[in-house]
Structures are given as structure tokens and as C-alpha cells.
Amino acid sequence: MSEPKSDSTNPSAKPTYKDSLHLPKTAFAMKANLIQAEPQSMKRWEDSHLFGRLQVAREAAEPFVFHDGPPYANGPIHMGHMLNKVLKDFVVRGALMEGRRVRFVPGWDTHGLPIEHKVMTELHEKGKTAKLDTLAPEQRHMAIRRECAAAATKFIGLQAEQMKRLLTIADYADPYYTLMPGYESKTLEVFADLVDQGVVVRALKPVHWSIANKTALAEAELEYEDREDLSVYVDFEAADRAKVAAAFGLITESPAEVAAADTDAEVDESRFLDVTPSFMIWTTTPWTLPANLAIAVHERFRYALVEIDGNTTIMASELVEKVAKKAGAEKVLVRAETDGAKLVGLAYRHPFCAREGRIVAADYVTLEDGTGLVHTAPGHGADDYRTGLREGLPAYCPVREDGTYDDSVPEWLRGKSIWTANAEVAEHLRASGHLFYDHKFMHSYPHDWRSKTPVIFRATEQWFIGVDVPVKRDGKTLRARALEAVEKEVAFTPEWGRNRMRGMLESRPDWCISRQRSWGLPIPAFRGADGKTFLTSASVRAIAKRFAEKGSDAWFTESPAELLAHYDVAGDPHAPAGFDITALVKLHDIFDVWFEAGSSWNSVLRARNIGYPSELYLEGSDQHRGWFQLSLLPALGATGIAPYKRLVTHGFIVDKEGRKMSKSIGNTIDVEALLKEFGADVCRWWVAGTDYENDIRADLEFFKVAGESYRKVRNTIRYLLSNLDGFDASETDSILEGIADTSLEAWVLAQVAGVEEVVRRAIVACSFREAQQAIYTLCNETLSSVYCAATKDRLYCDPARSVRRRRAQAAMYRTADALCRMLAPFLPHTADEAFRALTRDETACVHLERHRTLVQPCHPRWTEVLALREVVHAALERAKASGIENPLDAGVMLPEAHHHLQPFVEDLPDIFGVSRVVMAADQSAIEIVDLRGEPRCERSWKRDGSVRQRSDGGLLSDRDAEAVGVA
């Protein structure tokens, strides 16, 4: 302890006591300087092999299985990635602080159209596609795949760095990519399991088809351009006049016949239908008419039986006038009307194919164009296809891949190109009297982005996972099992996700898992000499083995015999009779990327022996249809068990006004820039404070607010640390052992213990915001405003080794320690920085620690003391009117009603922030006493009643005199 300083040049000057105080002192800076300091933390963790050390240290600990959903590797990370990865990191670090063994493997989705499209666009721009087209198909695939792999790898590298910069902890040394041979192999195993279960089926489905390139196209590869086409209004003759008449409330017996049968009957001539009416459809693609299998109506629309220029036909009532006007009809007579629902089930004759079709219902029928009756060709349209599925119609497609008709159409069309067929079909219909009206018109039509030629919808053979096919395991369908799992086996955060997913599962169609592209995992199917497709679970497993060794590129570079090196025909009960490996031809479909991502539970969790299933999957709410659902289906099929126990979803980042972020609006926030301006810990603190279950509004302003909040927490920790200068941490336990429950330390530690419990529970529940608020309130109120303010006097002024002072230090040590641990999941850098300052050990790392469970009882009347503090503050505020502006100029007289707080009386002045507190016997209300007339201690600035002139000439209270060592 230093002696009070006397000014030697001026002996008459009063002593100053500042240097005798134990003022806060710490190297832990007020300014965080995150931008420079965080990379240093990253380096320190990396150099000390933190992730590896944790794996070793937790080897025997209870595992926490958590699986990373793979982001798509086609650009730098955006706000959504930041949100997702940081939330996941809270989960990971939260579990680590609970002492669990966590092996979190980051992953990337690397295949798929967006990358391929991007690569193709670049090749196109560089003029390299022409050269590409000269290559043999397999070489061409390989050339594209090499480019795609390079692009994916590049972005993985970029994203990984950005994710690390967010201070996330994961096995970055050994991540998973869907293009890794081991991953691909494990994906094929899932596929083989599904084949075993009998849910993999092959069926026709219409896709966008480029005739010029003889290939299927994705939506992203279409360009819409105006094109002149022939639109036709066609009459499809009803098959049964009587049934149609009945639907319209008409009769088909002539009035004469009726009169003859029943002389009393009065017959209304107008109810007599003496011709067979037609159903009039409209189409802009006459070439699809040979594939017509049905006509769709809307059940709730009204339909009219109408005579137009002598032609009796049926169309939507609302459109009669429009159609008549368009065709220039002169005589229009509506004979009768009926509901669309009444028409459903009626049959009609195809105008030039020898078959009948049916009227079906569809709610996509509109009254904007056409006739209200929609020509339906399930092999040539997405809607038509779905309607066909529902009605049990085949996806009939008589068009070959070169755009010509096959032999199933009438002879006059066979082998013709569909484009020339347009006019011929119209002429044929005109000749046979089925064409009501035709005209040329311009409309926007999809074109192949590369060849600039118009595309068509064409049904092709595709691979499906049937969701309504019973699996061999238990005879339940995937849909039924998935619904069951969603209902009973999976927890949802937020709870409404359950509803949402149920709805999606109920309505989802079979899963089409094949794509006609280059960049992906090949579906290992062959065509045999007999023309049949060869694919059995054993053959798939054999190829899986081959891919594990060679990667899936082998599909394009090896022969069937090489690919099937591990295949044992004799051991495959499903092998086709007369199997001839030399006659096999490879097919070139690839898997839907969702199938690969949806198999990650196998390729990562099971393949790496991490555990199965995952405790939770945590992704954006769009994944209810995506990854969540498409992981659930394969997992249920292959294992019967859902791949996750719980689904946690977050919303999307939107701008300040609640609108979605998009580059075109220009309201995006750049993650790199954000990190550069605020640092990762502040960004993470922002994430921790979001209400992530819904849309999350983001704006630079909000990060400033988060920064303020962060600074408050940081500064509180700093203050705790600054009072621990010279404190021997090893004394903490002995100092605090058995402290009175009425002591300030009992109170503050009880608060810390309570917050710790809340924080731990909240993190487990993924209620990060709740945890953050508890921590913030602890720092802002419990500590900064109450405890630190109350103990300031004793820490600064008490003798250094006073019991009271050291007790406060011990409490602060324990509090700072607990805070570091509570903050570790949220602020990895700051918590670690503080922890090293606290332990005064540069090699210490809070991330190797785990929570300590604090137990500290405190007196039940503390709540009353704190409430009284509020009342006294209010009274002090009122007393300002009488000139008592500084609380240390005031004393407090407590009335009878508060006398039971006697056990706390020693600490009450500090708790209230006043100089003295008196329990007054004759008092009815709290009274603020003006102490300005009393001497003020020159060291502690308190007027506690013991202040008098001391031997050194200074005015000191008893306590301060003792501390300074004067009498």
C-alpha cells in the first residue's frame, strides 16, 4: 500500500489520496479491435490444434451427433450462410461447453445444374462450346465435368475461408464434398438399399426437350422468345350423345317418338338434341394432338351446349361470345348449360386416332384463353402429366428424341417432324370437319438457350423413388412412414414446421431422381442386349465399390466390364437371364443432386462412424421441402429410421423494410464487408440476438446496435478483470466457502448461478436469444448497475487484504470465469481473450473448458432489498429538487416497515449508493437526509459520520484512516 502523497514543494497543501486507492487495472483493452485480433485467435487455435485436442480430450465423453447440411458451392457466402453457420456453431460450441464429444463435419454440395450452367455459360462466352460439341459424348461429359469440378473446388475453398472467418469450429481439415469418391460410393449404397426395398421405379415423365441437342433441359436453360404458332380450335366428337344430353338436361328421343309413346306428354322441342355434339378444345401446339388422352374441365365452371353456325359443340359459357367473335361466327345459340362437374367422365372420340378419351377435372383450367376445355396430353405437359397420373393415364409420347413421330401415330404422320406436322394436323382436321377455327399468332415460347431453337415437352423414361410403393421391410410406403415420423418421431423448432412438412409430404409426387446432365453422380444403369434396363441392387453395390476406388468419372472412362469388376452375376438373384456383360451399354442419366445431399446421413454420419441419427438438422425453412424431406425419404427407405431427431429452422434475411434481399433491388449486405467493419464476434452477437424462427430483418444499423451491446458486455468483463489485479485466484474457494447468505457476494453469485442455468438450458433448446438476453442483463444490470457499483467503494478503498475486499474479488473472479464460459459459444474470440486474461495464462483456452455448475444460495429477502433500492433511487431523484444532487451527499432513513432488513444494513449504503443508512424508529416513510453539512472523507468521498481530521492533516473516515495507516 502506498503512502498518501504530500506535495513536497508546498507543505501546506493537503494530502491527496488517489494513489492509495486500488483503482482498476488490466491489460484487457476496452477497445476490442476485433478485425486485427480475431485472425490472431484463429491462428492460435489452429497452431494449437484446438479441434484435434478437443476430439482427444472428449474421446470418452457422451457424443453429440450433429450433421451439417451442405451449402451449394457456387459463389461467396451470403447473409443466409452466415446466419446458418453461426447458428450451427452455437449448437456445436454449446454442446462442447456441456462437455460433449462433437465431431462436426462441414460439407458442400458440389454437383448439379447451377454449377454446370455457370461453367457452360463461361465456355460459351469463351467460344469453346463448338469445340466441345465435336467431342464424343463421353469425352464431352468428361470435359464438362472437369470444368465443373474445378469451379466447385474453387468455391469450396472460398466459402471455407469465409466460414472460418466467422470463427466457426468444425472439422475443416476433413470436410465432406458430394463429389468425393467415398461420398459418391456411400450415396450409391443408399440407392442400392432403396432398390432392395423395391421403391426405385422407372417411368415416363415429360421434360423440356431440345430437339437440336437431343437432350433434356432445365428451367434455367430456357430462354423465352416470341414465336409465331398455329392455334387451333378443335371439335372432339362425343362418344355417347345420350349421356351428353343428360348432362345438359336434354333428351335424345325426338318429340314425335315421345308423343307416340305417351300421348299426354308435353314435349318441349327445344329439349331435343338431334345431333351428336363435340367438345371444343383450343391448343397452340397442334402437334401434340396425336398424344391427346383426355380433356380437362373445371368442375366449378359453367359449360354451354351451343350451336355455332350449325355446329353443335360444348365450351365454357363465359367464353362462347369470345370464341364466336374470334371465329367470325354469325349464328350463335346456347341450347343449354351445365356445371363442369357434370361433364366429368363423359367420353369422346379422338378426331384421327382410333381411340376414345375422357373428360377429366383439373383446377388449372382457366377462362382467360381458349374454350374452357383443355386438351390434355400427359406425355407433353407438366400439368397434363399430373392429371394423367391422377386419372391413371399413361404418359404417352409418340415423339422420338429427334422430334419426329414414331409408328404409333396414324400413318400420314409417321416419321414426320412435329414442326411440319403442325400445319398437316390442322389441314387433316379441316378436311375431316373437326377444325372449327385456326389462326396464326405470336406468343412467348421457350427456346434452348444454346441452340436458340424451340423446345418441346416430351415424356422420357426417368428414374423415380415411388413414395406410395410399400417397402419390403414393413410393407409401409415411404409417404406413410415419413408422415408417421413427422407426426411422432421428430421434434420441430418452431413447432409449426411439423404442419408444414406434413402438408408437403401429403401432396408430394413421386420423386424423379434422374437428370439428363453431365455434372453429377451417374445412375449406374445399363441397357442389355435385350434392350432392357439392367440395374440391380447388387450391380449398384458393385459400382459403388468401383466408384469408391476410381470416383464417378469412371462411368465415363471405363467399359461396363471394368465398372462391374466387383459384380458377381452368379450371386445376384435379380440378374437377368442370359446376362452378357459385353453387350451392356451404359446409360447416361445422373442423380438429382438432392439425392446425393439426401444421402449425407449415410455418406458422412455412418461412413465416418460419427453416429446415427443426428440430434438435429438446422437449416433455413425452405429445406422443409428440400434437404429435410429428401434426407428423410432415402433414410426411411434404407434404414427405417429418420436421420434426425429434431429439426430446427430459421427464416430468411430480409432488409430493413422486410423485403427480401436481392441483387437487383440492391438491398443486399455483403458478408465480407460486414466482417471487415464489425468483426465476427459482433456479427455473431447480432445473430444470437435475432428471432431467427421468422424472417430476420438486417441492416447495417442493427450491427451497430449489436456492437454497442457487445461493448457493454466486454466492458463489464473488463471491469471485473481490472479489479482482480493482484488477486490470487487459488484463494477463491476458501474465501467464498460458507459466506453469509446475506452478503452481497452470496447474492451476486446466486444471480450468476441462475443465469448460468438459464443460458445452458436455452442453448440446448436453441433459444439463443434468451441466452443472450440473460447474459446481457447479467452484465448490464446485476453486475454493472448493482454489484459493481455497490462494491466499488470497498474494492477501491478498503485495505488491500481486507476480508470484505477479497470476498468481492473472489466473487468477481468466479463471475468472470462463468461469463467466459457462457459467452464461449457466442463470442469465441472475446471469451477466449478474456479467459486468458483471467487465468493470466496465454496458453489457456476457454474452448477446452466446460461449464462449472455453480451452486450458491442467497437470502430470500434479497429481492426485497433490490426492490427497496429502486424506491430509494426514486426518492433520491426527488431529493435533487432540494439540492442533493450527488447520492453521496445523502443518507437514508428507513422506517419501521423495513427494519427486518437489519441483516443487510452494513451493505445498504453501498447498495443504495449513499453515504449512510439509518434504521429510524419513529419514521413512517423513507426519508432522504441531507448530509452536505457533514465532513466528507477526502479519500472515499463518503460522509459516513466517522470523518475527522487525521494525523496527516487529511479528513478521513475511520475505514480510510486505517487503510492509509494514519491515526
Partner RNA sequence: GCGCUAGUAGCUCAGCUGGCUAGAGCACACCCCUGAUAAGGGUGAGGUCGAAGGUUCGAGUCCUUUCUGGCGCACCA
**C-beta of 364: minimal distance to RNA in Å?**
5
Cβ(72)–Cβ(594) below 8 Å: no
Q: What is the DSSP letter of 31?
A: S
Report the C-alpha gap between 85 and 69 in whole angstroms: 10
Our CB check for RNA shows the closer of 47 and 701 to be 701
> Whole-number minimum distance, CB 614 to RNA, in Å?
21
The DSSP code for 9 is: T
Give residue 841's Cα distance to chain centre: 40
Q: Which is nearer to RNA, 412 or 496 (CB)?
A: 496
| 523 contacts RNA (rule: CB under 7 A) | no
Q: Does 719 bind RNA (CB under 7 A)?
A: yes
DSSP state at residue 644? B
Task: Out of 190, 359, 485, 696, point to the residue binding RNA (CB under 7 A).
Answer: 696
Place of cell 382410333: 354
Give the integer Cα–Cα distance in Å for 373 and 305.
Answer: 13
- Minimum CB distance to RNA, residue 660 (Å): 4
CB under 7 A: which stretch of 53-61, 206-214, 303-311, 939-947 binds RNA?
939-947
- The verdict on 477 binding RNA (CB under 7 A) reads no
Where are the extended beta strands (E) located within 526-567? 526-527, 533-534
Query: Min. distance of Cβ 946 from RNA in angstroms?
Result: 16
Q: How far is CA 151 from the centre of its chain?
A: 24
364 binds RNA (CB under 7 A): yes
167-175, 193-201, 656-664, 820-828 -> range binding RNA (CB under 7 A): 656-664
Residue matched to cell numbers 478498503: 798
d(CA 21, CA 797): 6
- Cβ atoms of 953 and 6 within 8 Å: the answer is no
- C-alpha closest to that of 790 among 807, 776, 774, 814: 807
Binding of residue 652 to RNA (CB under 7 A):
yes
Sign of CA dihedral 883, 889, 895, 898: positive
SS3 312: strand
Under 8 Å between Cβ of 10 and 657? no
H helix runs in 219-308, sequence order: 241-247, 255-261
**Of 11, 531, 578, 658, the one binding RNA by CB under 7 A:** 658
Cα 799 to Cα 434: distance, rounded to the nearest angstrom: 110
- DSSP annotation of 2 reads P
119 or 346: CB nearest RNA = 346
From candidates 153, 213, 780, 839, binder to RNA by CB under 7 A: 780
Nearer residue to RNA within complex by CB, 372 or 909: 372
C-beta closer to RNA: residue 228 or 870: 870
**378 touches RNA by CB under 7 A:** no
Range list of β-strands (E), 682-766: 696-697
Minimum CB separation of residue 376 from RNA in Å reads 8
Single residue of 789, 848, 920, 955 touching RNA by CB under 7 A:
789
Please measure the distance between the N-terminal and C-terminal CA atoms of the chain and give it in whole angstroms.
16
Size of the site for RNA (CB under 7 A): 89
Stretch 945-964: interaction string toward RNA, x if CB under 7 A: --------------------
Classify 710 as helix, strand or coil.
Answer: helix
Q: Give the closest residue to 105 by CA, choosing from 742, 608, 840.
A: 608
Burial label, 647 (beta-carbon count in 10 A; 0-12, 13-18, 19+): buried
Residues from 660 through 689 that contact RNA (CB under 7 A): 660, 689
Query: Contacting RNA (CB under 7 A), which of 874, 949, 951, 965?
Result: 874
- In the complex, what is the shortest distance from the CB of residue 664 to RNA, in angstroms, rounded to a whole number? 12
Spell 36-63 as b/e; 16+ CB within 10 A means b. ebbbebbebbeeeebbeebeeebeebee
Q: How far is the CB of 282 from RNA (least distance, A)?
A: 7
Tell whether residue 761 is a contact of RNA (CB under 7 A): no
Q: Does 350 bind RNA (CB under 7 A)?
A: no
Q: Which region among 483-491, 544-552, 701-709, 834-842 touches RNA (by CB under 7 A)?
A: 701-709
**Cα gap 532→529, rounded to integer Å:** 7
Of residues 143 and 504, the one with the C-beta less far from RNA: 504
The window from 36-44, 653-661, 900-908, 919-927 that contacts RNA (CB under 7 A) reads 653-661
Nearest to 521 by CA among 607, 592, 464: 592
Q: Does 580 bind RNA (CB under 7 A)?
A: no
Measured distance CA(782)–CA(790) in Å, rounded: 11
- Footprint (CB under 7 A) of RNA, residues 170-199: none
> What residues from 97 to 136 belong to the interface with RNA (CB under 7 A)?
none
Q: Least distance in Å: CB of 890 to RNA?
A: 10
- Cis peptide bond N-terminal to 494, omega within 30: yes
Residue 863 binds RNA (CB under 7 A): no
Cβ contact 15:2 at 8 Å? no
DSSP three-state, residue 858: coil
Evaluate whether 946 touches 958 at the Cβ level (below 8 Å). Answer: yes
DSSP 604-638: IIITTT--SSBSBEEEEGGGGTTHHHHHHHHHHHH
Considering the complex, state which of residue 267 and residue 382 has its C-beta at the smaller distance from RNA.
382
The answer to the question of residue 18 lying near RNA (CB under 7 A) is yes
Contact pattern for RNA over residues 271 through 310, marking x by CB under 7 A: ------------xxx----------x--------------
Q: From the list 715, 802, 923, 946, which residue makes contact with RNA (rule: CB under 7 A)? A: 715
Residue among 6, 121, 784, 802 that touches RNA (CB under 7 A): 784
How far is C-alpha 894 from the chain's CA centre?
57
Q: Is 23 in the site for RNA (CB under 7 A)?
A: yes
Among the residue ranges 35-43, 351-359, 423-431, 877-885, the one whose residues contact RNA (CB under 7 A): 877-885
78 near RNA, judged by CB under 7 A: no
- Secondary structure letter of residue 68 according to DSSP: P
Minimum Å gap between C-beta 371 and RNA is 8
Largest CA distance in the chain: 144
Cβ of residue 781: shortest distance to RNA, in angstroms?
7
**Of the candidates 13, 167, 105, the residue with the CA atom closest to the CA atom of residue 827:** 167
Contact call for residue 366 and RNA (CB under 7 A): yes
> According to the binding rule CB under 7 A, does residue 381 interact with RNA?
yes
| 94, 106, 112, 370: residue in contact with RNA (rule CB under 7 A) | 370
List the one residue from 3, 133, 487, 691 that touches RNA (CB under 7 A).
691
Q: Does 616 bind RNA (CB under 7 A)?
A: no
- Out of 46, 885, 896, 906, the only residue in the binding site for RNA (CB under 7 A) is 885
User: What is the DSSP secondary-structure string of 469-517?
Assistant: SBPTTTS-BHHHHHHHIIIII-EEESTHHHHHHHHHHHH---EE-EE--
Q: In the window 418-447, what residues touch RNA (CB under 7 A)?
A: 443
Tell me which stretch binds RNA (CB under 7 A): 97-105, 133-141, 465-473, 933-941: 933-941
Instruction: Pick from 118, 769, 850, 861 the residue near RNA by CB under 7 A.
Output: 769
Among 61, 873, 905, 923, binds RNA (CB under 7 A): 873
Q: Is residue 651 a contact residue for RNA (CB under 7 A)?
A: yes
Q: Are 779 and 819 in contact (CB under 8 A)?
A: yes
Per CB under 7 A, the segment of 262-270, 424-432, 693-701, 827-835 that binds RNA is 693-701
Q: Among 110, 514, 621, 815, which residue interacts with RNA (rule: CB under 7 A)?
A: 621
Q: Is 55 in the site for RNA (CB under 7 A)?
A: no
